[in-house]
Amino acid sequence: MMFEIILLGGFSAILVALFLKKKFGFQAQKSTDYVSTGPQFDIRKNLSGPMLSEGIIYGPFGRVTSRFVAKMHAEWNGDVGEITEVFDYDSGNSQTRKWTLKVRKDGSIEADADDLVGTGYGNQAGSAVVLNYTIKLTEDAGGHALKVTDWMYLMENGVVINRSQFRKFGIKVAELVATMRPETSDQIATE
């Protein structure tokens, strides 16, 4: 009898924790939360031309597992854009990714890249953009398919802060925090 009570209490605690996380955590955000906050994020304008990105990746236990610096370039033809990203990781590895994004009249976004499983979807509203997709990791990174939620927030100075969570079976296995900002001509000259 005591074992059943302990088991029921543990199960109840897990359910409460999951409920709170879903209602109040990272996954509880909605685009409508940002409609009237900060500058208006237009992905076609704010992610355009040459950009620089710096970021860190946290593992499942909250410790930094990787750092990167990336050069990005985005070109838009109306509502269709291509973004090329070249990542240089602290491990010495490099990775190139090319996104194709389509923005619809209602602000919804369709996203494709070679390492996605299917098509990603999201939307822009107010000062934020959210994208949801499934990414297939490279074989040297385990080859897993992870569900990703990307939230990008536009700052008043034009910098974009990106926070992404990667999940497997609903459990967070990694998190990324990065900045994205326009690359200026003086940055190009010093490299």
Q: What is the pLDDT of residues 108-118, one digit of tens each?
A: 999 999 999 99
Whether 63 is in a domain gets the answer yes
Confidence of residue 138 (pLDDT cuts 50, 70, 90): confident
Q: Is the dihedral of CA 161, 100, 132, 57 positive or negative?
A: negative
Q: Looking at residues 41-55, what average pLDDT do you find?
A: 94
Q: Is residue 16 part of a domain?
A: no
Question: Does a structural domain hold residue 8?
Answer: no
Domain enclosing residue 83, as ranges: 30-189
The helix/strand/coil state of 10 is helix
**Which pLDDT does position 139 carry in this prediction?**
82
In a domain, 2, yes or no: no
Do the domain assignments include residue 19? no
pLDDT at 156 over 80: yes
Q: What is the pLDDT of residue 38?
A: 77
In a domain, 66, yes or no: yes
| Single-letter amino acid code for the residue at 97 | R
How many domains would you assign to the chain?
1
Reply yes or no on whether the pLDDT at 4 is more than 90: no
pLDDT at 74 (0 to 100): 95
Q: Confirm if 104 and 79 have CB atoms less than 8 A apart.
A: yes
Mean pLDDT, rounded, for 31-57: 87
In angstroms, the Cα distances linking 107 to 35, 126, 129, 132 are 12, 10, 9, 14
Distances (CA, A) of 12 to 22, 72, 170: 15, 46, 18
Residues 69-95 pLDDT 10s = 999 999 999 999 999 999 999 999 999
What pLDDT does 141 receive? 75
Residue 147's pLDDT is: 96
